Amino acid sequence: MTDNAAIQFKNVNYSAGGTHILKDITGVFVKGKITTLVGPSGAGKTTLFKLCNGLIPPDSGEIYLHDKHIDSYDPVKLRLGVGLALQDATMIRGSVRNNLALPMELQGKQLAEEHANELMEVVDLDKQLLDQDAKEISGGQRQRLSIARTLVNNPEILLLDEITSSLDRVSKKDVENLIMKINRDYGTTIIWITHSIHQARTIGDYTWVMMDGSLMESGESGLLDNPENNAVNQFVKGEVE
Amino acid sequence: MSYLTLSFALIFVIIPLVLSKTLHLGLEKDTLVAAIRSIVQLLIVGYLLQYVFDAENILYILLMVLLIIGAATQNARKKGAAIKGITWKLVITFITIEVLTQGILLGLSITPATPQYIIPISGMIVGNSMVLSILFLNRFTSEVETHENETELILSLGGTPKQAIHRQLTDSIKASIIPTIESQKTIGLVQLPGMMSGQIIAGADPVQAVQFQLLILFLVMTSAIITSIMLGYLSYPTLFNQRMQMLVGKNNKV
C-alpha cells in the first residue's frame, strides 16, 4: 500500500460489450495533488473515472481508496467523497437551481439560498440563471454548473472529465484557477482528464498517459516534455488523435 | 344464435380476404389464420366454460383462473425480457390483482361466488392487467435506456437506485395508466363497451348492463394502477446490484 495514495489501482481490468476497455491498470493517484489524465479518445479514461466513483465494478484487480479497498465503502459514502463531473454535463429536468440542489436533495437536505449563490459565484455563473430551465443554458454554462453541483458534496477527491472543453480561453483559465484554488485551499485530490497537453502540463503535478486501455506512462507532469514511450511521444506531438 | 346463422357471419371474413386479394395487400394468410384461430379458440373456451359452469367445482374455477394468469404472463413477459425474473414478477402482480379484486367483489357480495361471474370478470381484469404490463414494460425499458446518463448522474452524486430511477419509474407508470383513464372519460360517448353491448344484445336490461359495466370500469381502473406500480417497484431493483451499480445499459455489462 502506498501511504500518499488517494486512489490506487492494482492490475485492474474492465471489459464491456466484448471490448477490453481497461488493460491491467496499475498506478497511483497521489493524495492532495492534481493529476492530469491524457490520451486519445477511447483510451478508457472515462471508464477509469467510473471505477473510481464506484459506478462500475472492475472485472479483475483491486482498487484502494486511501488505505481501504473500494468495496469496503458504503456506495453512497464512497460517491459523496469522490465527486465526478463528466464531460456531457448531464442535467436533470428542471431549473438550474434544481440541478444545483440535487446532491443535497438526494441526502434529504435543502440547499440554502446563500450557499446556492456562493456556488454560482465560485463558478462564475450569474445568479439570475438559478431559475432558468437547465436545458436552456449554453454548453459552457452547463459545464460550470456541473462543476458547482459536484462541489456541493465537498468531495475529498474530484474527478473532472474534460470540464473545460466547451469553454472559451478566458473561461477555461478561470476554471483552471478555480480548480487549483480548491486543491490548494482544501487539499482536495484532483484528477483531471484533458485533451490539451498544454493544460495537462501546466495544471498537473502528475500525469497519466493512457492509450488503448493501457497506462503507458505516469509520473510528474514533466514527463510530457520527454516521454520514454514512442507511442506516447507521437501522441504528445499530436501525431495520434 | 344457431351455427347456421353464425356461418353467415363468415361473410365478414370473406370481405377482407377479397379486398386483400384484389388490392394485393398480402393479408389473406394472416386473415385466414386469425379467423380460424378465433373460431377454434373461442369454441374451445365456450365448451370449457359450459363444462366448468355445470360442474360448479371450485377446483375447476381455480384452474381456469390459473390458465388465464399463465396465458397473460406468457404474453407479457416478452416485453420485459431485459428485467431479471420478469415471469415471476408478472405472476405475483396478476395474482395480487386477482385476489384483491375478487376478494372485494366476493367479500362484499357485490357479485355471486359462481363460475359465471368469477371466470369472465377474472378474464377481463387479468387481461387488462396484461395490456397494462405490456405498456408499462415497453415504456420503462425505453425510459431506462434513454435516461441512462441521468440515472448515472444521480448515482454518481450519492443517490440510491430508487432515487436514480424515480423519474423513469413514475413517467412509465403514468404513461401506461393514461390510456385507461382517457378511454374511461369518453366511455359511452364514442363507443359502448363490449361487455355492456354483449349483455344488451343478449337481452339484458340496459340499466343493469350499465351497472355491471361500471363495476368492471372501476375494477379496471384499480387493476391498472396496481399493475403498473407493483410491476415497477418489483422491477427496478433488478436493474442494480448490491453496490448500487447499473446492470443494464450501453456502459455496462448486460
Say what percent of chain B tops pLDDT 90. Answer: 65
Chain A contacts of B154, Cβ < 8 Å?
92, 102, 106
Tell me: the pLDDT tens digits for A110-168? Answer: 999 999 999 999 888 999 999 999 999 988 899 899 999 999 999 999 999 998 887 88
Distance CA(A52)–CA(A31), nearest Å, equals: 14
The answer, for B28 touching chain A at a CB cutoff of 8 Å, is no
pLDDT tier, B247 (very low <50, low <70, confident <90, very high otherwise): confident
Say what percent of chain A tops pLDDT 70. Answer: 98
Residue B50 has pLDDT above 80, yes or no: yes
Distance CA(B8)–CA(A86), nearest Å, equals: 68
Distance (Å) from the alpha carbon of B250 to chain A's nearest alpha carbon: 8
pLDDT tier, A239 (very low <50, low <70, confident <90, very high otherwise): low
Tell me: the pLDDT tens digits for B220-232? Answer: 999 999 999 999 9
* Beta pairing, strands A189-193 & A206-211: unpaired
User: Cα–chain-centroid distance for residue B167?
Assistant: 24
Chain A contacts of B253, Cβ < 8 Å?
16
Where do the domains of chain A lie?
Answer: 5-236
What are the strands of the beta sheet with A68-69, ordered from one edge? A19-30, A5-16, A60-65, A68-69
User: Are the CB atoms for A31 and A18 separated by under 8 Å?
Assistant: no
Distance (Å) from the alpha carbon of A56 to chain B's nearest alpha carbon: 6
pLDDT score recorded for residue B254: 36
Tell me: the pLDDT tens digits for B194-222? Answer: 778 888 888 888 888 888 888 888 889 99
* ipTM at complex level: 0.93
Q: Does domain A5-236 have CATH number 3.40.50.720?
A: no
Whether the CA torsion A73, A75, A77, A81 is positive or negative: it is positive
Point out the residue among B149, B160, B163 whose CB comes nearest to the CB of A88: B149
Quickly tell me which residue has 466547451 as its cell. Answer: A166
User: Are the CB atoms for A30 and A205 separated by under 8 Å?
Assistant: yes
Point out the residue among A55, A92, A149 whose CB comes nearest to the CB of B245: A55
Point out the residue among B156, B160, B250 whose CB comes nearest to the CB of A55: B156
Distance CA(A212)–CA(A38), nearest Å, equals: 12
Closest CA to A178 of A104, A228, A98, A124: A124
Chain B contacts of A106, Cβ < 8 Å?
154, 157-160, 163
Chain-chain contact of B251 with A50 (C-beta, under 8 angstroms): yes
